[in-house]
């Protein structure tokens, strides 16, 4: 059929570019493993959700080198003064292990988001503070790992630290874990503020990734210094185009997003974005 041939051609071209955008009328799944080389399977599930979901896993050429992704940068190349503590690249997160897709502890972002963070950082540095990022771009395979973790009722090893008041079986129904994340579009960052020079985090009332309504930015139980600190973070980022997710004081998305309908799955590694 003509549409099958057309889809195969489009998939091959997009894999070669390592940037895959699935049109709304794409077929349910395209498997273009042959075009990417060993380990370069691409799954483009255009009909699986409200927008096209993209899995562009390890696209490579004949030499096996990872293809560069245009439009994304390492935050350290834009502003090395921002503190990076990429939690999913280590074991200090709610899964208790390094998360799928995090090959290096580095913050990758779409360039407009990274440049907006640099502007916010300049404002904070003038007052003796700095941004500290916990997560930036997040591959779809990592989100898939979160969903599998949430479904594993036997693993309660991190409950006391990350969700003491919420049963693990409720994390997906109550929206703490979801099958899609704005992080996979490349313009969302999880971030806090630290005081310089000690780099001590300001008191935000909860830890990062604490699954509880107390993490809601404007939770009525939050007052005093904690409310001021959350307000400062929201204000300095908001002035540069970032919009806060009300359910998570640390979660901000730069708008307008360069890739509002695309969920990427390239690995978190500097080689993915550097020319």
What the block records as the tokens of 109 is: 């972002």
Q: Which helix (H) or strand (E) holds 129?
A: strand 129-135
Using an 8 Å Cβ cutoff, are 191 and 233 in contact?
Answer: yes
Closest CA to 82 of 163, 198, 199: 199
Task: Point out the catalytic residue in the list 123, 228, 248, 257.
Answer: 248
Residue of 43, 55, 56, 54 lying closest to 16 (CA atoms): 56
Q: What is the DSSP track for 197-260?
A: TTTEEP--SS-TT--SGGGSTT-TT--HHHHHHHHHHHHHHHTTTEEE-TT-TTEEEESS-SST
Q: Which of 197, 192, 168 is nearest to 244 (CA)?
A: 192
Residue whose entry in the numeric block shows the structure tokens 């000690």: 198
Closest CA to 191 of 75, 72, 73: 75
Q: Is 248 a catalytic residue?
A: yes
Which residues is 251 bridged to in the sheet? 190
What are the catalytic residues?
248
């Amino acid at each position: 059929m003509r549409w099958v041939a057309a889809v195969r051609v489009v998939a091959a071209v997009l894999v070669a570019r390592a940037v895959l955008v699935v049109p709304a009328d794409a077929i349910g799944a395209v498997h273009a493993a042959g075009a990417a080389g060993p380990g370069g399977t691409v799954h483009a599930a255009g009909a699986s959700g409200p927008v096209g979901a993209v899995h562009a896993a390890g696209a490579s050429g004949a030499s096996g080198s990872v293809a560069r992704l245009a439009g994304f940068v390492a935050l350290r190349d834009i502003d090395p003064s921002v503190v990076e503590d990429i939690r999913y690249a280590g074991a200090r997160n709610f899964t208790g292990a390094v998360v799928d897709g995090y090959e290096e502890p580095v913050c990758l972002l779409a360039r407009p988001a990274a440049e907006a963070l640099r502007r916010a950082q300049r404002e904070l540095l003038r007052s003796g503070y700095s941004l500290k990022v916990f997560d930036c771009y997040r591959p779809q395979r990592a989100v898939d790992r979160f969903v599998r973790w949430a479904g594993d009722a036997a693993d309660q090893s991190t409950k006391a630290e990350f969700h003491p008041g919420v049963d693990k079986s409720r994390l997906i129904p109550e929206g703490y874990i979801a099958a899609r994340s704005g992080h996979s579009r490349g313009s969302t960052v999880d971030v806090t503020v630290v005081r310089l020079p000690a780099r001590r985090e300001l008191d935000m009332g909860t830890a990062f990734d604490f699954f509880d309504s107390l993490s809601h930015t404007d939770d009525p139980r939050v007052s005093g210094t904690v409310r001021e600190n959350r307000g400062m973070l929201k204000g300095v980022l908001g002035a540069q185009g970032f919009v806060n997710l009300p359910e998570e004081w640390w979660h901000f998305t730069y708008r307008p997003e360069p890739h509002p309908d695309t969920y990427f799955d390239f690995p978190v590694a500097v080689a993915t974005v550097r020319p």
